[in-house]
Amino acid sequence: MKSSSLSAALSILIAVATSFAFQEPGKPAEAGARKNDPSWDPMREFARPGPAHKVLESRVGNWTTLLRMWNEPGSPPSFDAGTAEIKWILGGRYLEISYDGTILREPFQGVGHTGFDNLKQEYVSTWIDNAGTGINHSEGTFDAATQSITYTGECPDTNEWKYVKCRTVEKQIDADHWAQQMYTAGPDGSEFLCVDITFTRAK
């Protein structure tokens, strides 16, 4: 993937940055089993923040970032830095991230929103930034065996003038550090690591 498309591709990566959770989220009772329960209010069930929202709490705060990007498999990476502020909005239902930094030494700002969809039982994210005009979407699931969340979505490839598939994996390092790796198709169609970003909690 060329430099310009990598810049745009980062947008989906930052979006998912707000939604890292390393606990098995609790699943609400199946709707079908509760339809005859007069005390059950499906609207409130859908709107109620639950355990999967609570585990996002570890992302709240201020962060410094180190971003590495690869133009193509085997190429040397570029290095950029940034900062991120993450906070709860709308009664603990969504995390909002405000990002300020650079991509390929150019100014970069973006805003993302992340939550856990009680109906889909998946983490969901949207992202907008000054490197494009689209709204990026991604959805992710938790894997207890690897203690990671894998997101899938699409990112813009402006060289090909189309959206392409992207996969992002989040991994915990310790309480004050975590990392994300973003993968997309290389020139031969095989998936390769194009972005690696680490977050360090600001003191």
pLDDT tens-digit profile of 105-141?
999 999 999 899 999 999 998 889 999 999 999 999 8
Q: Once rounded to an integer, what is the mean pLDDT over residues 81-108?
A: 95
Residue 59 within any structural domain of the chain: yes
Residue 125 within any structural domain of the chain: yes
Q: Once rounded to an integer, what is the mean pLDDT over residues 94-98?
A: 95
- Please report the pLDDT score of residue 6 as a whole number: 53
Give the total number of structural domains in the chain.
1
Residue 179 within any structural domain of the chain: yes
Least confident window among 132-136, 139-143, 146-150, 184-188: 146-150
* Widest Cα–Cα separation across the chain: 62
Residue 175 within any structural domain of the chain: yes
Burial of 51 (0-12, 13-18, 19+ CB in 10 A): middle
For 193, the domain range is 3-27+40-201
The alpha carbon torsion through 160, 170, 152, 110 (nearest 10 deg) reads: -60
Residue 32 within any structural domain of the chain: no
- Whether 133 contacts 40, CB under 8 Å: no
- Please report the pLDDT score of residue 135 as a whole number: 93
pLDDT at 10 exceeding the cut of 60: no
Q: Per residue in 26-55, pLDDT tens?
A: 555 555 556 677 777 889 999 999 988 887
Work out the pLDDT band at 13, boundaries 50, 70, 90.
Answer: low
pLDDT at 173 exceeding the cut of 70: yes
Distance CA 150, CA 125 (A): 12
- Please report the pLDDT score of residue 170 as a whole number: 80
pLDDT at 18 exceeding the cut of 50: no
pLDDT at 92 exceeding the cut of 60: yes
Taken as a whole, the chain contains a residue count of 203
Distance CA 54, CA 45 (A): 16
* 32, amino acid identity: G
Q: Which residue has the tokens 């859908």?
A: 46
**Which is higher by pLDDT, 63 or 58?**
63
Residue 35 within any structural domain of the chain: no
**Which is higher by pLDDT, 92 or 173?**
92
Q: Which of 101, 122, 124 is nearest to 113 (CA)?
A: 124
Average pLDDT of the residues of the chain: 83
pLDDT at 193 exceeding the cut of 50: yes
- Please report the pLDDT score of residue 83 as a whole number: 96
Residue 134, domain CATH:
2.40.128.20
- Whether 57 contacts 81, CB under 8 Å: no
Distance of CA 13 to the CA centre of its chain: 5
Give φ, ψ of 65 to 5 degrees: -130, 150
